[in-house]
Each structure stands twice: as C-alpha cells, then as structure tokens.
Amino acid sequence: MKTLTLPLRPEDVRDLSVGDPVALSGVLVTARDAAHKWMVDTLIRKTRPPEGDDQACAAALRPLLDGGAIYHCGPVVAGLDSGEYRFVAAGPTTSSREEPYQADVMAHFQARAVIGKGGMGARTLAACASVPFVYLHAIGGAATLIARTVTRVVAVHKLDFGVPEAMWVIEVKDFPAVVTMDAHGSSLHRDIESRSAQALIRLIGLEPGAG
Amino acid sequence: MLDLTEAFVELIRRTSTDLPADVEQALREARPREASDSAAQRALDAVLENVDLARRTASPICQDTGTPLFFVHHPPGWSTRQLREQIRAAVAEATRRSYLRPNAVDALSGKNSGNNLGDPSFPTIHFEDSEDEELAVDLILKGGGCENVGAQYSLPHGGLQAGRDLEGVRRVVLDAVHQAQGQGCAPGILGIAIGGDRGSSYLASKQALLRPVDDHHPDPELAALEARLTEEANQLGIGPMGFGGETTVLGAKITHLHRLPASFFVSVSYMCWAHRRRRMTVRRGQITYS
C-alpha cells in the first residue's frame, strides 16, 4: 500500500504504476457530469460566458485542483437543512461519461489524480502521460465504507447543480483505491477489454461489434 | 385504507441499507475463487465489508440509490391513487432521512427536485390487481451505472451472427456483458427478456431481477441457458470491478414474452452487485418484510 498526500507533484504521480494499491489523504473535490461540462464550457473552452458565482467558484477551486484530485462521486449528504454537512455514502460513479472532458480539465488545472470507477479511454490515458496524472479506481458501491474516510466537508460549490452533482470539497484520510491507469501509458481497463474481446471471439466464434 | 407511508419508508430503508441474503451469499462464494491478494479479491473484500457496515449503521450500501422501482400487487379494494400518494410521501421522507439520494433530475432544465419526486413515473410504480389476500410490494433500487450498460438487441443481428433462437440469445447476451466491462459494477446479475416490444421487453428484464440469485428456472432449457450464460460470462475474465478475475456475473435470469412476427427483441438489464431488492407484505394489517 502506497500512501499519497495531496497535493501531489508530477514526480509523485510518475512513481505510480498500474496495480499499486494506494491510501490517499488530503483535500479533494468531487465533480461529475454537470461539473465537468461547466468547467469545460465556462472556464476552458469558454463557449459559455461566466455568470452568477462562476468566477468565484473557479477562483476557489483553482488552488485546490492544482496538484489536487477530482473524485467522480455523487454523495449522499446529511445535514442539508443545517449546513452541517456529513458524508453518509460516497462511492465512485462511472468515469467514462467524463471522457470527452477529462483530459482538458486535468491539463487546465494541473490536477494529479482522478478517482472514479470503470476506467477511462484513450484520450484520457494519453493525457495521464502528458499532464501528468493517474487514474485511481475506487470500489464501486462501497459507499458507506468510503464515506468513513471522509473526515470533513470543507466547502461546497455549485450546490444548485443538485446534491449529487455539486462540487464538494472534502478532506479524506486513507481513502482506498488502486492505480488502474498510470502516467507511463498503461491501462488495466484497455488490457482487460482486449482480453475479454478475445474470449468473446472464442465463445461465439467472431469479432465483437463487427457489422 | 391503512396509511402505509411509514411502512414504505421502512421498506426503502431496508432495501437501501441491507443487501438480500442470497446476493450476499453469492458474493461470499465468489471471494475464494479469486487469486489471493489480487485486486479482484481485495475488491470483493471491500464490497463485503461495506455490506456489513451499511447494515449495521443503516446507511446506504451505495450512494447511487438509483431509480426506485415499485411493483405493487394489491387485492381488490385498494386505492392505487392512495397507494401512489403514500409511496411518494415515503420516498420524500426516506430522502430526508438520507436512505435515498435525491435523484430526480428534470431532463430539460437539469434541476434536481431535491426530494426524489419527479413526474408521475419517478419513482416508478407498477400496479397489478391480484387475487391474493395480501398486498405485496417489491422494491428494487437500480443505480444509474448499471442501468447505463443495459442493452437491447433486435434479432437477427448480423454482426454477432445471432438468429432468432436461444443460440442467438446467448450470443447477444455475452456481447452485452463484454460491452459492459466493469462499468456496471461487476459482478452483476443479468435480467434477460426474450420477446415483447421495446418497452415491455425492458420492463420484463427488470422484473426477472426479482428472482433470487440462487433459484432455477422451471423450464429446463432456460435453466440450462441461465447456467451456461453465467459460466460463459465469467470466462470473459472481466472480474469484480473490471479488475480481471473469475467472477464477472453472479447469475442470469431469463423471462420471455410474446412478440410480433416482425420483432425479436432481447433485452438485458444489468444489475450491479449491490442488488437492492426487498419485499413488503401486508396481510390483515400485519406488515412483514423479506
């Protein structure tokens, strides 16, 4: 088990390889579908002019994401009435939906880790090497267990996106994950998919997805 | 008519926080099949620890508490309008108590309603008038990750050389499992419907998920296909979480519907390992859960 403490330096990330179990500590930010679209449209490609609290949110997020980590997660949060927020359940959501955005987001903010489940595609893998950053796979569905590693809810941005889609700034201690895409071009997901495609060909006697 | 609102809240709490015994047992049996200290085995360890912790602390097994799917079988004389109102009130209350995540998002504005109540189809409630004396309500909480990897095939399928027979069904189901990889939170359970129209077929594939993981189809031919699909899906090597390994699915459940001469749909609903499924029955005012 490798222990990682945020923020991470490029050399910390390059020290990691596919298969390494890690325990992550420090402050990270949750972001999923609405947040990725917002970051890309408003802050990166600027196809949509900033409005409301966009600039203030961006200013608050930049220092957290520089060397930081983005967690694909839509949590169950208690204390919504009082504002004394507590994470009740907080496993990862499927990362592949952020494939169109992730490489740009990581490069823009110089973030060093993205945490999710299911892995990501070729464009993100290439960016893992160039930015650099790693993809950390958390255990899908292990939501109560993971919520126990959240020691504090520091802040929340974009709560108008809804509780699951908001950008929650949380402090974690020994958040468990495994490196499945590294900064050296390796991806466990690419390898498993290729092996399962070969197994499928054996089982049904042709190429998957053909025709 | 009884006010069952609080009973429905309890049904939701149990469904969200307490994994059914048959599903947990299947996960426990999967663990020793994985290589010692592999990523797959560590994933199953975390899954089992989480199941235990969620049950003890009455907190959601998975933060994606999904689409609540209610299947209500009621004796004559029950008001479906009142039952619907009570279920909706219970869903809002369960959300307030953090048993459910607010999950109802307006498809156009993107606004989350905050209480899990959307248009009349959110939560989804199916009513069936039954001859039984008791009211029976099945609830499945089906998360979005696994819902997104569901698939529907129209046979014949040229690319997969799948014709309109059980061999064709086998081919497309294996393709669906391959396409899903680990994204539906493997090891999953497959609900498979053969026939119907596009809508009825998908619905039936979800109803197939109400069967216990360890049961056997009464039709020997379909029982054999269920066993074969489970075994062959596991030969794909996708494994828990898609980390590679021996257990990709825990089971396959097949149902079939009449179809049009022109149509032959095969619908696959992929259920994640967190197969949250519970039943509440009301008999002469007595409420029981299973």
Phi, psi (degrees; rounded to nearest 5) at B124: -85, 125
Asked if B117 is an interface residue toward chain A (Cβ–Cβ < 8 A), one would say no
Residue among A87, A156, A196 with most chain B CBs within 10 A, to mutate: A196
Architecture category of domain A2-204 in CATH:
Alpha-Beta Barrel (3.20)
pTM of the predicted model as reported, rounded to 2 decimal places = 0.96
Contact B22, B236 (CB under 8 A): no
Please spell the DSSP secondary structure of A93-129, one letter per residue. PBGGGGHHHHHHHHHHHT--EEEEBS---HHHHHHHH
> What span, in angstroms and rounded, lies between the C-alpha atoms of B226 and B231?
9
Asked if A89 is an interface residue toward chain B (Cβ–Cβ < 8 A), one would say yes
> What span, in angstroms and rounded, lies between the C-alpha atoms of A77 and B100?
10
Is A148 close to B53, i.e. CB distance below 8 A?
yes
Band the pLDDT of A206: cuts 50, 70, 90.
Answer: confident
pLDDT of residue B1: 80
A36 is a catalytic site residue: yes
Band the pLDDT of A207: cuts 50, 70, 90.
Answer: low
Candidate CATH numbers 1.10.8, 3.30.1330, 1.10.15, 3.40.50; the one for domain B5-15+61-143+276-289 = 3.30.1330
Residue A210: pLDDT above 70?
Answer: no
> Complex ipTM, two decimals?
0.95
Question: Which residues of chain A lie closer than 8 angstroms to B247, CB-CB?
Answer: none
> What span, in angstroms and rounded, lies between the C-alpha atoms of B208 and B215?
12
Residues 6+ apart with CB under 8 A from B211: B253
Residues of chain B whose pLDDT is less than 70? none
Residue among B37, B57, B63 with most chain A CBs within 10 A, to mutate: B63
User: Chain A window 121-140: which residues touch B at a Cβ cutoff of 8 Å?
Assistant: 137, 139-140
A76-92 confidence digits (pLDDT tens): 999 999 999 999 999 99
Question: Which residues of chain A lie closer than 8 angstroms to B273, CB-CB?
Answer: 141
Query: A32: helix, coil or strand?
Result: coil
pLDDT of residue A41: 98
User: Chain A window 51-80: which residues touch B at a Cβ cutoff of 8 Å?
Assistant: 73-78
Is A119 close to B242, i.e. CB distance below 8 A?
yes
Residue among B56, B61, B241 with most chain A CBs within 10 A, to mutate: B241
pLDDT of residue B142: 97
**What is the residue extent of each domain of chain B?**
5-15+61-143+276-289, 145-271
Question: Which residues of chain B lie closer than 8 angstroms to A21, CB-CB?
Answer: 39, 42
Mean pLDDT of A31-40: 98
Asked if B189 is an interface residue toward chain A (Cβ–Cβ < 8 A), one would say no
**What is the residue extent of each domain of chain A?**
2-204
Asked if B59 is an interface residue toward chain A (Cβ–Cβ < 8 A), one would say yes
Verify cis geometry, omega within 30 degrees of 0, for the bond prior to A50.
Answer: no
Residue A211: pLDDT above 50?
Answer: no
B24-33 confidence digits (pLDDT tens): 999 999 999 9
Question: Which residues of chain A lie closer than 8 angstroms to B50, CB-CB?
Answer: 139, 141-146
Contact A106, A63 (CB under 8 A): no
How many residues does the structure list for chain B?
290
A107-137 confidence digits (pLDDT tens): 999 999 999 999 999 999 999 999 999 999 9
pLDDT of residue A146: 98
Measure the CA dihedral A186/A192/A198/A202, to 10°: 160
Contact B192, B245 (CB under 8 A): no
